Amino acid sequence: MRSSILKLTALLSLVILSTSSLNAQRIEDLPRIAMDTLDLGSTNAKVVIYTNNTWDFYFPSLDSLVARNVYTTNWVTDQVFAYKGTSANDLPASMELTLFKKVSEYKCPVVGRVTSKYGIRRGRNHNGIDIPLKLREPIYAAFPGVVRYSRYNGGGYGNLVIVRHDNGLETWYGHLSKTNVEVGDYVVAGAVVGFAGSTGRSSGVHLHFEIRYQDLTFDPERIFDFATGDIRYQNFVLEKSFFNIRSNASELLEDNDEEIALLATEDGQEITSEDILANIEKIQEAEAKKLEPVYYTIKSGDTLSRIASRNGTTVSELCRLNGISRNAIIRAGRQLRIR
């Protein structure tokens, strides 16, 4: 009896020893002790170097935290738009944004069912998502940042809070029954920015939530899974094409025909990795064409049907894209979206 207990103990300690020696190889298990700091010169921030070969920014005070460029340039507190005059064309094709470094640095603003998605709704742009809530449910800041706007907005948002974040993203929280923060407040992720309501152009209590970069919107479902409250990425690649109102997260998240297309060639031959790459390229080109709007400058004597046939489209498609009727009068010199 005793010997079997001894054997078991010996076996257990062997297991513990072997797992701990494996774990010792992992950098996150090494002691993380601050070793040194580096000055960054232009800002008050310092870089802290740790013993486990990692580093982090260090901001000596809240003042220096909010004094960073992102919180001083294009800092407008009485209007919703802060980057007038900039357009998607000025931005790079894609940008990598760090969404959080620690799990305490994000929080899904509310968890619930998205009843209205990002996209075109009844002919108007719906620049965010809607989640129905109970009156006065708390709404949380998605990331740490500084409150840029917190007031009643007559344009339809009702009581609106806008928080700008370190990476330049802004999160917008609309139709609040009451705001809970003031312009200039530094908020942590999960801070209550306001309470659910139905102020502004709203029918029923819900949160209207947007994420913007330099005033430009993209689908918030690209970042959060609102059904679970999970975040999808730590480092998010924001592509310029995402700013198109017709570009939404479901392209990535739902099964679609394109995925099936990858598995079979037209002639039923065995598929090679080169075929797959060629297919992916073809699909991406088609997607890019679909998303990139193309405009045509109307010339005198043009008619909708002539423009349609010359550009390989139809009159009804032109009407849909431009929100005009078949009988609309078109004027030379004006731009018409043809794709």
Distance from C-alpha of 148 to C-alpha of 152, rounded to nearest angstrom: 13
Total residues belonging to the chain: 339
CB of residue 252 vs Zn ion: minimum separation in angstroms?
Answer: 21
> Among 33-41, 126-134, 151-159, 265-273, which window interacts with Zn ion (CB under 5 A)?
126-134
Choice between 208 and 222, CB closer to Zn ion = 208
Choice between 130 and 185, CB closer to Zn ion = 130
Is 77 buried (19+), middle (13-18) or exposed (0-12) by CB count in 10 A? middle
End-to-end alpha carbon distance in the chain: 82
Choice between 208 and 240, CB closer to Zn ion = 208
* Residue 94 φ then ψ, to 5°: -155, 155
Residues with Cβ within 8 Å of residue 15, at least 6 apart in sequence: none
CB of residue 130 vs Zn ion: minimum separation in angstroms?
Answer: 4
CB of residue 157 vs Zn ion: minimum separation in angstroms?
Answer: 9
CB of residue 207 vs Zn ion: minimum separation in angstroms?
Answer: 8
CB of residue 202 vs Zn ion: minimum separation in angstroms?
Answer: 8
Distance from C-alpha of 229 to C-alpha of 135, rounded to nearest angstrom: 20
> Among 13-21, 129-137, 152-160, 243-251, which window interacts with Zn ion (CB under 5 A)?
129-137
With H, G, I as helix, E, B as strand and everything else as coil, classify residue 240.
Answer: helix
Which residues from 176-235 bind Zn ion, rule CB under 5 A? 208
Give the HSE-up count for residue 249: Cα atoms under 13 Å, Cβ half-sphere. 20
Answer for the pair 193, 141: CB distance below 8 angstroms, yes or no: yes
Choice between 101 and 246, CB closer to Zn ion = 246
Binding residue (CB under 5 A) for Zn ion from 130, 166, 170, 219: 130
Q: Give me the residues that bind Zn ion (CB under 5 A), please.
A: 130, 208
